[in-house]
Chain A
Amino acid sequence: METQPKAKVLIVDDEKGLRLGTKRLLESEGFEVDAAQNGAEGIAFGTSLDYDLAIIDLKMPDINGLEVLKQIHQNHPNTVCFIATAFPSFETATEATKLGAFNYIPKPFTPEELLSNLKQGYDRRILLQEAEKWKKEREESLLEVAFEKTRLNTIINSITDGILVINKYGQAVLFNPSALIFLQLPDIAIEEYIIDKLHPEIAELINKILTNKIFEKKSYSKQIELKSNRELFIEATSSPVPHPDGSLAGVVVVFKNITESKKLEHLKSQFVSMVSHELKAPIAAVYGYLKLLSDPAYNLPNDQKINYINRSQIRLDGLLKMVNDLLDISRMEMKVIQREIKDLNLAEAVTSVIELLQVEIKKKNITLEFQVIDQSNSIKADSDEILRLFTNLISNAIKYNKVGGRIDIKIQNADKYILTTIVDTGIGMKPEEKQKLFHEFFRAKNEHTKNISGTGLGLSIVKRIVDSYAGRIEVESEFEKGTSFKVYLPI
């Protein structure tokens, strides 16, 4: 018999001659053979090793062969066992078969009888092993499917968007924890009728698909304000889920938190209305003057006409400046500003700004002192932006100063920054005005400021420039005493 690899056989027999004779016969046929001389030894061998085949003598002085068979099968159900006996009976044969013996070999047997039995037994063994292998593989793949399922569940539960799946009867079949938050429900029972528990607008999204009956690949979305004042805004999207046969199985609803983008949208529309208002104010003023100038009914004296024309001019200049500032801000927002980053000496930049503003400084009879404490004050920056930054700050210090006031400018090193301090003796700010200082279009409005023109964008631009260089700006102010700005720009 060709066996590759060698089939392992256990012989359990108390009769020495037969035991050794069989062993020799089988070894010569290419089997690997162990022999046990009694039941106890047979059990010890048969339970410790998974033999392919076992030939067990029925009647042994210590333990009955059937007991040995039972013990071996408990540990190794695939070991194919034969019961050999000189006293075959119908009862023992039945019992042996019941215990899983493959066959019953009456003693004495010829080598041919034995070998033919063993050959059949070995075929059986191979079948059993293959079945075992299949079973194992099947179990493993089942395990994998189960694993896939839990993994999918874990993924669905981890999604921050809410997911709710409803069957065509309106019952909940799947949901994740986020869905509970967006649906504002403490829990959902699987297979409970859910539609009447949902926000009416969400229910409507689902019903749009369910009432359709047939499957149509079409989704519905709606933005829903769950908590007023833009506290919780969601976008719910319902999509049909098809059956394998193409009919409608149910609806999947995805809930997305869009609160932040709604807030941004609101800020944007607020900004647009602020811009419209600010642009309209000078237009309204000039429009009014033009109406008066062009209507002969008012019969204005000449000096008043000239006054109105001059003031219209001033308002239009302001309007133009505001439009330019707005364009700058929008360019900064879109980050399309063309920058030329070079080594820039801050003291030189500030000096050139001061020179540019000489006329205004003289007009108000302001004393300006400029101190450069540390000589090494180069930064890497775009010179246009830095000039813009200091022009805005210093011209504010002039504009909001009193006649005959002072401006003190100081440049010094401060750790990894160059600090520029601009102190004025102007009208200062109230604490509540200081808070809004860098907001677009904010201008402190009081008796001191009513005749000072400005776009309300200057400091907002200053802040944007400073931020874009990863610097920072600090402001201290005392109402009617003066204001000081500290600009930190990184070296």
Chain B
Amino acid sequence: MAKIAIIDDDPDILDASSLVLTAKGYEVVTASNPDDGYKIVKENSPELIILDVMMNEPDDGFFLAQKFRKEKIKTPIIMYTSISKTTGMDFGKSDLVPVDEYVEKPISPDDLIEKVEKLLKREKEGKK
């Protein structure tokens, strides 16, 4: 099964997300800040990255995603957001925010799994 990296500074979100994904048989690596997140992606080369948009700074997640793309790490990224609706910040997919999917917190396990499977499937088909 695929390896997934989760990067979020909320330990409870990390725990719950890990459990949901490991229950589905995925292998999960986690990090709680952008620096460690960068490290685990470099070391483990996961097939999917789940990234929280707001860690220390409101845009830490964006910067990390941009950093991955700059270094030609093309791993699909799901971004956890929590305030896109309340602030009217709705991000589309663009070079500025190089992520593939958004998941709005609180996260429903089914929704998360559906998006994870969809992206992994798309990657697989793309590579064929």
For B1-28 the 0/1 string (1 means CB < 8 A from A) is: 0000000011111011101100100000
Whether A298 touches B23, Cβ cut-off 8 Å, given contacts A276-B87, A284-B105, is yes
Indicate the size class of the contact surface on chain B.
Answer: 20 to 34
Contact with A along B86-102 (1 / 0, CB 8 A): 11010000000000000
Contact residue among B12, B20, B107 (Cβ-Cβ distance under 8 Å from A315): B12
Q: Is the interface of B mostly helix, strand, loop or mixed?
A: loop
Residues in A whose Cβ lies below 8 Å from that of B33: 445-446
Chain B residues lying within 8 Å of A288, measured Cβ to Cβ, are 12-13, 15-17, 20, 106-107, 109
**Interface residue total, chain A, C-beta cutoff 8 A:** 25
CA separation between A450 and B9, bound complex, in Å? 8
Distance in Å from the Cβ of A294 to the closest Cβ of chain B? 10
A281–B10 contact, CB under 8 A? yes
B32 close to A (CB within 8 Å): yes
Q: How far is the CB of B28 from chain A (nearest CB, A)?
A: 14
- Given known pairs A276-B87, A281-B82, A297-B23, the reply for A292 and B11 (CB within 8 Å) is no
Complexed CA–CA distance, A269 and B58 (Å): 14
Chain B residues, CB < 8 A from A298: 19-20, 23
Q: In the bound complex, what is the Cα–Cα distance between A311 and B12 (angstroms)?
A: 8
A residues 289-311 in Cβ contact with B at 8 Å:
289, 291-292, 295, 297-298, 311
- Cβ of A269 and Cβ of B87 under 8 Å apart? yes
Assembled-state Cα–Cα distance A280/B53 (Å): 13
Q: Which residues of B contact A272 (CB under 8 A)?
A: 86-87
Contact (Cβ within 8 A) A276 B16: no
The A275-291 residues at the B interface (CB cut-off 8 A) are 276-277, 280-281, 283-289, 291
A273 within 8 A of B: yes
The answer to whether B29 has its CB under 8 Å from any CB of chain A is no
Structural contact, A285 and B16, CB atoms closer than 8 A: yes
Q: Nearest CB to that of B105 among chain A residues?
A: A284
Q: How far is the CA of A280 from the CA of B23 in the complex (A)?
A: 25
Contact B83 A277, beta carbon cutoff 8 Å = yes
In the assembled complex, the Cα of A276 lies from the Cα of B107 at a distance in Å of 16
A288 to B83, CA, bound (A): 17
| Contacting residues, chain B, for A450 (C-beta < 8 A) | 9, 11, 32
Knowing A276-B83, A280-B105, A284-B106, say if A289 contacts B23 (CB, 8 Å): no
- B107 — nearest CB in chain A belongs to which residue? A288
A422-466 with Cβ < 8 A to chain B: 445-446, 450-451
Ordered by A's residue number, 9 sampled pairs between the chains whose C-beta atoms are within 8 Å are A276-B86, A280-B82, A280-B106, A281-B82, A284-B13, A284-B107, A286-B12, A288-B12, A288-B17
Tell me the A residues contacting B by CB distance below 8 Å. 269, 272-273, 276-277, 280-281, 283-289, 291-292, 295, 297-298, 311, 315, 445-446, 450-451
| Chain A to chain B: the 5 pairs with minimum beta-carbon distance, closest first | A288-B16, A287-B106, A285-B12, A284-B105, A284-B106
- A287-B106, A288-B20 known; 5 new pairs, CB 8 Å cut-off, are A283-B106, A285-B16, A288-B16, A288-B109, A292-B16
| Interface residues in chain B, defined as those with a beta carbon under 8 Å from any beta carbon in chain A | 9-13, 15-17, 19-20, 23, 32-33, 54-56, 58, 82-83, 86-87, 89, 105-109
